[in-house]
Structure 1
Amino acid sequence: MAPRDPQLSESYIQDSFHSYLKSSLTQAKAERLLDADVLSSAEGDLMITGPALCLYFAALRCTTNPPSVPLPRHTKSSQPMELSYDNCPEAFVSFLRVWSNTVPAIQALAPEHQHDLARMICNLEPLVTPLQPSLNGIAADLRAVAIEISQRRSFQDRYAGDLQAALDSGTTPASPTKRAAFVPPPSYDASPASSANSSPRSSLDGHPQGSPQYANHNLPPQSPTYLSPGSAATSSSGFPPRTPSPTILAHNSPAIEFIRETLYASLADALDEQPSLRNLLKTDPGRAYFASVAFAILDVATTSMTPDGAVIGVLGKNLTLAQCPPELRPFMAELAAIGRVAHEMQEEDDMTAMQCAQHGKPIPTTRMDRVRLMLEQGVGYAQGRRDNEEGRRSVEGRAVSFTNRINALSLGMTKLKAFRERQADVFKVLAGIGA
């Protein structure tokens, strides 16, 4: 038996990924998949598009079976090296698993369909009609991995440089370069005292190894708010229940604050209904934060939305779409859409369960259960891959696409200034629960 290759370091893989990411964004710009205005903006899901494109181009370059990723040479004398299951760091195995499953499907596509896949990744309409059915599932998987990459601090801290490299490509002194406006989401870095002896990139997310909790992090003092642990009766999760209790909100508070507090109050339900999130708080607090917000979005979308798209939130107050300022309406509309799709999927799951029971067949894992597993564990979770291999996952990848939709809304909302102002308080409570 051939000896196993030594495992590559996470920092080596990060450096390689960002090297490819710069070239992928540059190529997308040259092929007019992304223009300078998009690359320079901080709008939309640019954090997702870039990594997904990188994965797409890597699949086109792959020449091995099973699929592996040819890594760039860091020096001219470096030996050629490929990322495979034999040398992949444990933190990236799930990413490699999902990506490798897409490679044969991508390479089997006709060139025009490959181009349409790239357009779909960039939120552009495909050119070929009718649409190749498999493209939805492939794009969903690539974007799902990209979402998980985009949640990592090590990626966020370097993405502006990747975008700027693409913007600088092909420019001349006579054509001034646009500047990348991307700013990373709020950081939960260690305090100066605890980080003085640590490399800022000593772990996957830029946090020191061996310090998975954030209890000692340099967070602003917590004011007495609705999310303060002692401010109200608490649920078993440590958060106050989502009831019409006194909060920092007044009835005339801005709409964004109302939406924010409604979602953050729903974290109590998320942690009660998904007890495994508490374990995740101990092992990977950053991921636990994003997962908790995603579960809160799903909870609010399915339990607090009225048929006309209003939100019933804290203080027992209703917020209608018409009351929202124009810049917030897309978020409200997407929240309502997520609620509608979730109810449709639940009804389909119930119908499938009844049909299986009537015919004496085992009831398969429901789509909504797979969505919850992916929100918590990521798209590469082991059972999800087994379901895929057993043919129980639809070719359109509906569960993955829906999970992406929730995660994308979570990323978009937590980048808003009003959310950034309160994330430190929320994360401090989460860290206290996981301690």
Structure 2
Amino acid sequence: MDFQYSQKVQDLQQRLNAFMEAHIYPNEQVFFDEIAANRAAGNAWIPTRVVESLKEKAREAGLWNLFLPESGHGAGLTNLEYAPLCEIMGRVVWAPEVFNCSAPDTGNMEVLARYGTPEQQTQWLQPLLRGEIRSCFAMTEPAVASSDATNIESSIRPDGDSYVINGRKWWSSGANDPRCKVFIFMGKSDPDNADRHKQQSMIIVPRDTPGVTILRALPVFGYDDAPHGHGEVLFENVRVPAANMLLGEGRGFEIAQGRLGPGRIHHCMRLIGLAERALEKMCQRAVKRVAFGKRVAEQTVTLERIAESRILIDQARFLVLNAAQMMDTVGNKAAAKEIAMIKVAAPNMACQVIDWAIQVHGGGGVSDDFGLAYAYAQARTLRLADGPDEVHRNQIGKMELKKYLPARPH
């Protein structure tokens, strides 16, 4: 198990860190101030000038589309090579977009790259790779427990040379973004199929198709995440060409599993960066503040939390690197347990580290002055996104028990 980073990765780490120091960290407050100004003017859902300008710099610096392992579309990096780069970007919540490496576009581009037809790739993948448009992934539904994707009730019904789509989705990532031009929609095309995992399909829905209505933006702990955010979306008799079907009818669950594997690991990589940043802020605050006659850093409880944070972060990092290596060497299916493990470990780790950092900051920690409250909101959300903790724990438990159960007769 060799996690030594190659010279190529070390060079990219150095360049990415330099970019963050020069352009991202100095503009953290600029980003939020610009959104606040847009909100005060009556519309927070306007792409920020600072991110759009930094995208050009990232592209010029050759730090663009680093996430796609397939050479020809992205940088040709493996999951293991991408992991430390994703961690660096994750240190600032909005930074991944600057490098065209943010969700849900990364997952949607992976779907189009793996499963899209040449025509679908020309129409949608190429503009996404160039950063000209953004996208939305519409799977979760308010009426059912969508942690079990077979519960999904939205319909995709064939009608001549078209499909007609009906359903209500929520937590549709990116739906509110004015740059969003395309949805990848999951629904049931064959609800009576005896195989529950072949009832669903995924289909491409252009944002401007009649019948697509954004009902509302969904705040997370009071943050609307403008200008991207999450939306509740109504699809009423939405008609799209049959050519928009991805991979074929009944293969939606197959696509979802292929999409969520890399998506889950990307989230975990970014969370490690977010937790590292929280630990840095915790330490910086602890050495500056004095309480009861000595620095907060000298209080035993603070030392314990700093030490425990270091342990938790490094544990999570090694788990993520192990999962990444397995995905690269034996494939996503064989790495299912390792992917599930990091999806539980990384968000819980980040929530705990950020919580301790908030505590060291006192009242300032729950304000917006230090970015910790917003970071916590992001980390806590990821205990639900791409499958809640409970689902992954059940999966891990079943895999462990399988070793002890008697083999079933053929």
What's the TM-score, normalizing by structure 1?
0.26
Report 1 or 2 for greater relative contact order, CA contacts < 8 Å, sequence distance ≥ 6: 1
Indicate the structure with greater strand content. Answer: 2
TM, length-normalised to structure 2: 0.27
